[in-house]
């Protein structure tokens, strides 16, 4: 397996036992997905399902007739389903799927040996040429769960943030991710981007703040440029509302208040962007 795929698998192996500490985050994610269901006979697609510690599959299956779980790491999803004892015929594992289509190319690079312009060009054109994800246009809700930060981190670990074309590749991967997420949904359905913004490593007060204090705390961190590269939620919202390719496809773009995701050794501020696909 290529380097980035291996890294994701080893991280999933480390957090596999995190069911209990994920409880509050799982409730937020599950409530949000259920709140965006438009009917009781719809289907759900989750990108970045991983260990499924952030999904209450039984609650979701009370509303969604079928759930597709997509991840580069098939083992994480398999073991997540087993742990929840979920009904297998209502779930499809789409494992080994790289949602960017270019992780294998980036895995060849290291920040110490800069990728050439030709390599970055080839990576960008492959990312732009990638076909829609399986099941495109059929789901009533499609969600990306704390995946975008991993896609961007993959660029930091391979191309490196000092590379002159880092921002260009980040912008391309981020926009293509949003495009593919929206593509998955039927007209009138909902695209949900759940995303981690900053961690307790640089905002230690995440450990002690109340839910009421969080919007202010996270807002201050963002205004001080203290957030993960490419993950400013206000910029993501603006992209969905104004980008010439994305904006015509969505309406009713909303940004939630942040909540805290306890991953064990570290806490993350997470928020959700939701948008309806235009009919």
Ligand X SMILES: C[S@@+](CC[C@H](N)C(=O)[O-])C[C@H]1O[C@@H](n2cnc3c(N)ncnc32)[C@H](O)[C@@H]1O
Interface positions with ligand X (CB under 6 A)? 8, 12, 15, 48-54, 71-73, 76, 97-100, 103, 145-147, 150-151
The residue (of 27 and 251) whose beta carbon lies closer to ligand X is 27
The residue (of 63 and 154) whose beta carbon lies closer to ligand X is 154
The residue (of 98 and 176) whose beta carbon lies closer to ligand X is 98
CB 194 within 8 A of CB 146: yes
Dihedrals phi, psi of 188, to nearest 5 degrees: 90, -15
The residue whose two tokens read 């054109």 is: 125
Nearest to 169 by CA among 245, 221, 229: 229
Strand partners, 91: 67
The residue (of 26 and 276) whose beta carbon lies closer to ligand X is 26
- Distance between CA atoms of residues 159 and 253, nearest Å: 32
CB-based closest residue to ligand X: 50
CB 88 within 8 A of CB 25: no
Smallest gap from residue 279 Cβ to ligand X (A): 29
Smallest gap from residue 217 Cβ to ligand X (A): 21
Smallest gap from residue 178 Cβ to ligand X (A): 15
- Distance between CA atoms of residues 151 and 170, nearest Å: 9
The residue (of 236 and 276) whose beta carbon lies closer to ligand X is 236
Smallest gap from residue 180 Cβ to ligand X (A): 11
Smallest gap from residue 251 Cβ to ligand X (A): 27
CA distances from 29 to 33, 159, 160 (A): 6, 31, 31
């Amino acid at each position: 397996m290529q380097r980035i795929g291996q890294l994701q698998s080893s991280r999933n192996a480390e957090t596999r036992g995190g069911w209990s500490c994920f409880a509050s985050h799982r409730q937020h994610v599950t409530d949000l997905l259920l709140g965006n269901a438009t009917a009781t006979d719809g289907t759900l697609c989750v990108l970045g399902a991983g260990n499924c510690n952030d999904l209450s599959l039984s609650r979701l299956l009370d509303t969604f007739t079928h759930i597709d779980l997509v991840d580069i790491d098939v083992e994480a999803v398999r073991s997540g389903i087993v742990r929840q004892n979920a009904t297998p015929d209502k779930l499809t594992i789409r494992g080994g799927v790289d949602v960017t289509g270019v992780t294998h190319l980036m895995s060849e690079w290291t920040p110490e040996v800069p990728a050439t312009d030709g390599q970055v060009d080839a990576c960008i054109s492959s990312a732009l040429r990638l076909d829609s994800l399986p099941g495109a246009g059929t789901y009533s809700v499609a969600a990306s769960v704390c995946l975008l930060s991993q896609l961007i981190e993959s660029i930091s670990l391979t191309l490196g943030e000092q590379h002159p074309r880092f921002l260009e590749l980040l912008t391309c991967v981020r926009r293509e991710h949003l495009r593919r997420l929206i593509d998955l949904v039927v007209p009138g359905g909902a695209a949900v981007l759940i995303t981690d913004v900053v961690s307790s490593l640089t905002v230690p007060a995440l450990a002690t703040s109340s839910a009421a204090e969080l919007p202010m705390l996270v807002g201050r961190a963002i205004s001080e440029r203290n957030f993960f590269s490419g993950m400013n939620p206000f910029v993501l919202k603006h992209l969905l509302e104004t980008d010439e390719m994305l904006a015509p496809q969505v309406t009713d773009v909303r940004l939630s208040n942040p909540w805290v995701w306890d991953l064990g050794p570290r806490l993350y501020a997470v928020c959700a962007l939701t948008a309806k696909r235009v009919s």
